[in-house]
Amino acid sequence: MMNKYGIPDPIKEYIEKHEFWEKSIGGVEIIIEKVQYQSEEKVSFQLSISNNQNGFKLEDGILEYLDRHNPNINQFLLSDSESSACVIWTCNQKAFEELLDVALDYIKK
C-alpha cells in the first residue's frame, strides 16, 4: 500500500529492507532513510529543493506559508538548508506529508 505521494506503507519495513526511498515530485526531492537522531535510530523524511533560489530564503518562505496553514507542524521540523538548497526534515511522517503539501503549493506560486 502507498500514500498519495507513493511512499510505501509501512515505510519502516521498506527502509529496513531497502535502506532508503527517494522520489522527485514537482521540483522537490524526497529522501526517506534511517538516521541516528538523539541517540536513537529513526526514519528521516526529508525534502530538498535546489531551484536557483537561496535555500535559506526558500525555507523561510515555506515555513511562513506552512505556519499560516498548519502552525502545529513547525515544531516537528528540522533544517539542513544552505544557500544553494532548502532542506527540511522530520522523523514524523504525518508532519512530513503536510509539509510536502505546503512546499509543493508554495513553489508553484
Q: Is residue 42 one of the residues assigned to a domain?
A: yes
Bigger pLDDT: 81 vs 109: 81
DSSP string for 13-43: HHHHHHSEEEEEETTEEEEEEEEEETTEEEE
Residue 33 CA to residue 63 CA, distance in Å, equals 23
The confidence score (pLDDT) of residue 1 equals: 54
How many folded domains does the chain comprise?
Answer: 1
Residue 79 CA to residue 86 CA, distance in Å, equals 8
CATH code assigned at 67: 3.30.1360
Tell me the sheet residues that pair with 59. none
β-strands 20-25, 86-90 pairing? unpaired
Which structural domain, as residue segments, surrounds residue 19?
11-108
Question: pLDDT grade, residue 2 (50/70/90)?
Answer: low
Task: Take residue 93 and report the three cell numbers written for it.
Answer: 511522517
The pTM of the full predicted model, rounded to 2 decimals, is 0.91
Q: Is residue 20 one of the residues assigned to a domain?
A: yes
Q: 41-92, pLDDT tens digit by residue?
A: 999 999 999 988 899 999 999 999 999 988 899 999 999 999 999 999 999 9
Q: Is residue 25 one of the residues assigned to a domain?
A: yes
Range 28-38 average pLDDT: 93
